[in-house]
Structure formats: C-alpha cells, structure tokens
Amino acid sequence: MAYLDNIRTFTRIYELGSMSAAARDQRISAAVASARIAQLEEHLGVRLFLRTTRSLSPTEHGQIFYEGAQDILATVERAEAAVDDTTENPRGTLHIAAPLGLGRRLIAPQIPRFCEAYPLINIRLRLSDRKVDIATEGLDLAFILGRPEDSSLRIRNIADCPRVLCASPGYIARAGHPTEGREIEGGRHSCLNLRFPGATEFQWMLSTSEGPRRFDVRGRLESDDGDVLTDWALADQGIIMKPLIEVAPYLESGALVQVCEKTPPLPVQLACLFVHRRHQDPKTRLFIDFLVEAIQRSFGKDGTSRAITIPSRSTGQAPAASR
C-alpha cells in the first residue's frame, strides 16, 4: 500500500502543480508528501519533478511515469469499486460542502436518515457561502447554487430553485414598496448583497417584459454569510434576493414581504459537483442518489416546494417571526 500511496500522491502533485495543494487534497502534511516523492524517485532512479523555492514542474521522466501511473490507479479503482459495489455495508468518510441556507434547510435534515441506512459511512458537512475548491480542500462533493466555473468537475443538476426579492414591513413603511427592478437600481433602495472575494459590483438578474435584464444594485451592508443578510432584512435594513425555500417561513408569517413582483429574479440551479473519475466512489454515488431523491421528493423536481407559497400582498402589518 505504501507504493500505491506514493503513486497517488505523485499524481495529485502532477495534476495540481503544487506539493502543498496535493497534501491538503490527500489530508497529509507537505512533509509526508515530499517524503513519498523522494521514496518514489529513489525506487525509480530518476527525478520526477524539478523543484525551486517558487515553482514545481514535472521532468520528462515524470510526464512518462504519470501516464503509466494513471493506468495503475484506474486498475486499482476498478478493483476497489467492484468490491464496494458488492458489499452490503459501504464504509468510509464523505467530506461534503454546501451553502449555509440550503445546507441547513435541505442537506443537513436528510443526513440522519442517510446515516441510519448506511451506518458505516461517516459524514463531515461543511457549510459556507463562499466558493469552495473541491480538489484543493479535500472534498468529495459540493452542493452549489448556480453554474460552476470549473469545467473539469462533474455536475449533477437537481432542481431549479425559485428566488424572491423581499424586505420587512418596517423597511417598506420607511422606504416604500418597489414593484419592479428599475425602482431599486442605482442605489434607489438599500439592497443587501452577498460578498464574495474579488467582487467589485453587484447585479441582480430579473425577469422583465423584454426578457432577462441585469440591474445594478447598491447598499450599505454586505456579508459573505447569507443568513446574516436575512437577519438584516428582518431588522428593517433593506432588500434581499433569496431562494424561496430559505425565506418561505418569513413570507408566510409576514415578517418579510415580496417586492418587485413585476420583475422577479430568475431561478437558480441547485446542483452537486464532484471530481470526475472513471469509476465513481460508491459511497459518493450512494449519497448523491439519496439526497437527490429526497430533495426532489420534498422540494419538487421543478424547484417549487409543495409546501411553499408566496402570500398575497396585504395592507395590514404582519407579525414578526422569530429566528
């Protein structure tokens, strides 16, 4: 197994171009990764990488060995997959990431049922609204909203999630009730935005009578945590754009009210990302199949939960909901 571990570490360093990134991917220290490469080079009698303090690149021998190493690991994966496919009790640990709001409301509630069905599989769930890198962060799969930027990953679409623009009755009483996108663009209303690293401006894609259109929106408050934005909206600080399932309880109670009804946001795709492999890890496939079926059963294949409706606008002041 030590030789196979050395080959696995070598291939990840080759693919990621970084000793430290490969070490994180395999959940080992950079020192262990370096030692494995040294052992492999000693066994083969050649240098596999050219290393400097700032860069790492494969040698000609390294390029040749990588092609053969892929065949070796593919053969081992086929053998392991064949064994896992025939066992009634798959085992191991799954490292999963999901956005905060949907992770709490859709993913996390299903995990106890999955663990009951597969008691030898451990789950490590990480919730964050920031963008994650599956390869460098050692994740097996990640649930996302929207389209992925990395085309090398495999994607399984789950549902189109309706979104809604909403604000509290207190904010609407103070700032007015906008009914379409042009009333909120350019700073006319305080919009609460989800901030990602590198973001310089915010645009909301809304449906108009002329088709989809981007509206530039502004506001005093930003956060990288979507639930914080919901808290701020409940505290009368502005307008949020959210998947309907995240704010449905507040819409139903009247703590939040739909705005810009004439130009609603476009739906967002809920999908699952995982690393492309010739033979997918059986426990990863089991989890994806289980979650997709559970979500589509309770959430609706078209993304519209059977239990969620948007209340009609009323003239009375609705009671606030507690979080």
Do 68 and 100 belong together in one domain?
A: no
Do 81 and 16 belong together in one domain?
A: yes
222-246 residue pLDDT tens: 998 888 999 999 999 999 999 888 8
Tell me if 100 sits within 8 A of 227, measured CB to CB. Answer: yes
Tell me if 114 sits within 8 A of 144, measured CB to CB. Answer: no
Domain boundary among 86, 118, 144: 86
Do 150 and 233 belong together in one domain?
A: no
Q: Which residue has the tokens 């066992």?
A: 87
Higher-pLDDT residue of 88, 6: 6
Residue 185 lies in a domain: yes
The predicted structure's pLDDT at residue 86: 47
3-class DSSP assignment, residue 275:
strand
Average pLDDT of every residue of the chain: 83
Q: Give CA separation, 248 vs 105, 305, 317, in Å.
A: 11, 10, 17
Least confident of 38-42, 150-154, 184-188: 150-154
3-class DSSP assignment, residue 133:
coil
Do 173 and 156 belong together in one domain?
A: no
Tell me whether residue 271 is exposed, middle or buried, using C-beta atoms within 10 angstroms of its C-beta: 0 to 12, 13 to 18, 19 or more.
middle
Mean pLDDT of 30-38: 91
CATH of the domain at 73: 1.10.10.10
Tell me if 247 sits within 8 A of 210, measured CB to CB. Answer: no
Mean pLDDT of 184-188: 90
Q: Which residue has the tokens 């663009």?
A: 185
Which domain does 36 fall in, by range? 2-86
132-153 residue pLDDT tens: 888 778 888 999 887 766 556 7
39 Cβ neighbours under 8 A, 6+ residues apart: 2, 6
How far is the C-alpha of 81 from the C-alpha of 154, rounded, in Å? 18
Do 52 and 173 belong together in one domain?
A: no
Least confident of 212-216, 232-236, 271-275: 271-275
Residue 179 lies in a domain: yes
Residue 221 lies in a domain: yes
pTM here? 0.62
Total structural domains within the chain: 3
